[in-house]
Structure 1
Amino acid sequence: MGLTKNNLFSKEQIELADFAKVLAHPARIAILQYLIETNQCVNGTLVQEIGLAQATISQHLKALKEIGLVQGTIEGVSVSYCINPVKFEELKHHLNSFFNDFENSKLRCCD
């Protein structure tokens, strides 16, 4: 989205769209689900669990880390990743708000 068009949208709309862009790849969903299920910091196991090449996993982790859903800590020569609970709550809030707006609306399409 061009910088000149951002003034047309609310901060919440832009943030939700940014989350949606990052979540739009099934590998990223799989990574997040694995991190949630294991409930711990992981590093090399992602390659075995997801079944993608290390470089591909790294690319997806980078996108998740850039938006803040995943955080990493350096341990020696490797990086361990885990869910960032604060950012995940922010995502949950945005999605709940989005779906609550629909639930609370009186609009019904073509009834």
Structure 2
Amino acid sequence: MAGLFSKRDLNVLALSDRDDLLALLRGALDAAGPDSVERPGLERAVALVAGAPAMSPAELRGRWARERIEAAGVEVKADSVVAIKALRKAEPELSLLAAVNLTKDAAAVER
């Protein structure tokens, strides 16, 4: 099946492991004894992760794209040819359409 899909068929999927991380931290907290020196740190970590807002897929994609564009020293602007070029240079497998959409997501994300 090699070659069956072209670059234009590439989709960017945004994943968040926030819920898995929270479950892992809660499990560690449950396993820590009441007098454990780790307990205060685990309690703080659970509170931080639980209080962090869940991001939408567009926000996750935007942050991912923004990091790559800014790493190239380019200003993040929607539909910017320079930003699109920087993103495609950083991630050569991206199609032009995907890069254009990602620059829009990146521009919509507040830093």
State the TM-score bracket (shorter-chain normalisation): under 0.3
Specify which structure has the higher proportion of strand: 1
Larger Rg computed on CA atoms: 2
Q: TM-score, normalised by structure 2?
A: 0.28
Name the structure, 1 or 2, with higher relative contact order (CA <8 Å, separation 6+): 2
